[in-house]
Amino acid sequence: MPQFETVRHVRHAPAQMFDLVADVEKYPEFLPLCEALTVRSRKERADQTILVADMTVGYKAIRETFTSQVHLKPADRLIEVKYLDGPFKYLTNIWRFEQEAAGTAAGSGTAVGSGTAVRFWIDYEFKSRLLGAVMGSMFDRAFRMFSEAFEKRADAIYGPAIVG
């Protein structure tokens, strides 16, 4: 039942942001609460990839591991995550990477290069009400930090330069 949605405007190309989010094995290096991530399988299909991955998240003394299917669709600039097993009743997560046109920075008259609108949406519910009560508010805070974590990671990997 909890949902979270955000749009973050970043100064990197959609392909760069897609690649960064698709590189799930690197999440423990920079993503809040992500302690481990293991890809169980990887299947290539035409221009798409389907991963099955285990992600361990932790907060203080609580650790939970869940399995999800990650469907990478680079031509559509879309990543869909579907829950398979773990502490949730359900979990669905969608990432979209939309090209933004070059324009002018608000109020400054300064020309800026194009970038990406990174759209992040997640809908989930824990199986256990107790776990939901304990982890729920922490997950909400973490989702708010995810977008920023990915943007900082993009700046570290690709540099802070404006694309254009």
Report pLDDT digits (tens) over 67-124: 999 999 999 999 999 999 999 999 999 999 999 976 544 444 444 557 999 999 999 9
Per the CB < 8 A criterion, the answer to whether 151 and 160 are in contact is no
Which pLDDT does position 161 carry in this prediction?
A: 57
Per the CB < 8 A criterion, the answer to whether 52 and 69 are in contact is yes
Tell me the CA distances in angstroms from 137 to 61, 64, 119, 134, one per residue in order: 15, 15, 21, 7
Residue 158's closest CA among 119, 113, 93?
A: 113
- Given pLDDT bands bounded at 50, 70 and 90, which one contains residue 129? confident
pTM of the model: 0.86
Q: Which of 39-43, 62-66, 148-152, 158-162 has the lowest mean pLDDT?
A: 158-162
Span 124-142, average pLDDT: 79
Phi first, then psi, for residue 102 (nearest 5°) are -65, 150
Per the CB < 8 A criterion, the answer to whether 101 and 114 are in contact is yes
* Residue 107 to residue 84: CA distance in whole angstroms: 47
Which pLDDT does position 122 carry in this prediction?
A: 92
